[in-house]
Amino acid sequence: MKGIVLAAGKGERLRPLTDDRPKVMLKVANKAIIDYVFENIYPFVDEFIVVVRYQKEKLMEYLGDEYGGKPITYVEQVEGEGTAKAIYSAIEYIENEEFLAVNGDIYFEREGIKTLLQSFKKSSADAALLVKRFEDLSHFGMVEVEGELVKSIREKPGAVSGYANLGIYLFKPEVFEFIENTPQSQRGEYEITDTINLMIKEGKKVTYAVYEGYWNDIGRPWNLLELNEYILKNHLQHSIKGIVEEGATILPPVEIEEGTVVRSGSYIIGPVKIGKNSKIGPNCFIRPYTSIGDKCHIGNAVEIKNSIIMDHSNAPHLNYVGDSIVGENTNLGAGTITANLRHDNKTIKVEIKGKFEDSGRRKLGAIIGHNVKTGINVTIYPGRKIGSNSFIGPGVIVDKNIPPNVLVVA
């Protein structure tokens, strides 16, 4: 069976982290989101078809032409927006067999695909999708069911409970005819959920399988922190491959990869993951649910908690980084501090595509892009974003979002 992985989206809600790369390449717990997708569909497919468009060269270079000995074929989504158009792009690679189609920006576990295939096999349905029960479907598509069959999928029905559509589908090649007849949605996209509704209207049978495991749709920056926490809490093995100097304290589970040195006086409380060739300490404090990538430098008198620090980034002197995401190749000047809590204790709102969205989190720090430099004593307010390639001069108080490629001085 072939597995189509949809990875052509622009990831606008994840700016500035997607300023220069597809969102599926963002690393959570030091591994790209798409690698988790590949890992979990691997046993069920014999070929991966990846639908690309935005920043496609970067993704193709990153993934290469095979994964675990199984070939990867790339197709470009040339025409139109939306998941239906993305799936349609792969038409010439699908022959008579059924195939799996999976959003490339979600996290799920293998069990989900197994249950989906089992439900499909024992049914006589024409398509199948995976669902999970949520108490609040405000952000999801709601799958209405009757017995073994799906009745309809309704986009974002509000704060009601029910089954959410997880973005994991099994189709037969006949789906392409229905995609051809799918109208554009109100937001100007061709949505696979509309295609499924059309199939049902025309008498096709669509079944579903209920998934009980963890799932996350990486749409907004704080979803990365949620997923990071989940992976570190549930999938981290204590393993020290680097060098830990005498006088450093490591409370398991902590994973430290080859070439990393943890200097004396550092205090690390797991779950924490640190990549290869990083320099940690002396005298820093790394608290639970922190992922630090390869070739990073976390220096003296630095405290980091519940954060993602991507490869080649530094917090070298006197920094506090809490509930934050720091992109690749970014340097925080001495004394750069992220604030992660409002004094009125309200949940933190973040501007996403021009509108303020409530993250639902009482604690959320900064979202800093790639190749950013901050000067000494920069203060960043909760939930603020700094665009990639920007330079924030000494003493600046970042109380508004900063676009990419700018110089900001106090």
Query: Could you list the active site residues?
Result: 317
Q: Is 178 helix (H, G, I), strand (E, B) or coil?
A: helix
Closest CA to 357 of 1, 13, 70, 8: 13
Site residues (vs ligand TTP, CB under 6 A): 6-14, 23, 51, 77, 81-83, 85-86, 103-105, 189, 219
The residue (of 12 and 258) whose beta carbon lies closer to ligand TTP is 12
Single-letter code of the amino acid located at 129 = L
- Beta-bridged to residue 169, according to DSSP, are 101, 129
Tell me how far apart the alpha carbons of residues 368 and 346 are, in angstroms, rounded to a whole number: 22
What does DSSP assign to residue 33?
H
Smallest distance from the beta carbon of 206 to ligand TTP, in angstroms? 19
Element (H, E) at 118: helix 110-122
Smallest distance from the beta carbon of 93 to ligand TTP, in angstroms? 15
Closest residue to ligand TTP in the complex (CB): 9
The residue (of 101 and 150) whose beta carbon lies closer to ligand TTP is 101
Burial class (CB in 10 A: 0-12, 13-18, 19+), 30: buried
What interhelical angle do 110-122 and 33-41 show, nearest 10? 40
Q: Is 13 helix (H, G, I), strand (E, B) or coil?
A: helix
Closest CA to 84 of 176, 213, 222: 176
Smallest distance from the beta carbon of 97 to ligand TTP, in angstroms? 21
Tell me how far apart the alpha carbons of residues 399 and 384 are, in angstroms, rounded to a whole number: 7
Angle at 18 between CA 129 and CA 291, to 5 degrees: 85
Smallest distance from the beta carbon of 394 to ligand TTP, in angstroms? 33
Smallest distance from the beta carbon of 191 to ligand TTP, in angstroms? 8
Query: DSSP strand E in 249-313: where?
Result: 249-251, 254-256, 261-262, 267-269, 272-274, 279-280, 285-286, 290-292, 297-300, 303-305, 308-309
The residue (of 86 and 200) whose beta carbon lies closer to ligand TTP is 86
The residue (of 7 and 231) whose beta carbon lies closer to ligand TTP is 7
Query: DSSP strand E in 139-296: where?
Result: 141-146, 149-155, 162-171, 206-210, 216-217, 239-240, 243-244, 249-251, 254-256, 261-262, 267-269, 272-274, 279-280, 285-286, 290-292
The residue (of 139 and 346) whose beta carbon lies closer to ligand TTP is 139
Instruction: State the sign of the Cα–Cα–Cα–Cα dihedral 155, 156, 159, 164.
Output: positive
The residue (of 8 and 153) whose beta carbon lies closer to ligand TTP is 8
Tell me how far apart the alpha carbons of residues 261 and 299 are, in angstroms, rounded to a whole number: 11
Smallest distance from the beta carbon of 23 to ligand TTP, in angstroms? 6
Closest CA to 70 of 103, 100, 29: 100
The residue (of 6 and 386) whose beta carbon lies closer to ligand TTP is 6
The residue (of 219 and 403) whose beta carbon lies closer to ligand TTP is 219
Smallest distance from the beta carbon of 18 to ligand TTP, in angstroms? 8
Element (H, E) at 127: strand 127-134
Smallest distance from the beta carbon of 6 to ligand TTP, in angstroms? 4
